[in-house]
Amino acid sequence: MQIEQLQIEIETLSAEDFARLRRWFADKDWEHWDQQLEQDITAGKLDFLLEEALAAKRQGTLREL
């Protein structure tokens, strides 16, 4: 199905169904985000954040959130 056809179908949804679709879409988006984050962690792309935190701790500049 083409994007344009999906847009047309979405326009015809009731408010309740549109809200359900929006929640589903948001959940899917977070799911993709989590998968990407896991891949980045596994690949070591975020190791620099750990190094920064450890350096701040050693220097005594680490602050509580």
pLDDT in tens, 7-61: 999 999 999 999 999 999 999 999 999 999 999 999 999 999 999 999 999 999 9
Question: Residue 62 carries which DSSP code?
Answer: -
Neighbour tally for 18: CB within 10 Å: 13
pLDDT tier at 62 (50, 70, 90 boundaries)? Answer: confident
pLDDT tier at 1 (50, 70, 90 boundaries)? Answer: low
Question: How many helices (H) does the chain have, and how many strands (E)?
Answer: 3, 0
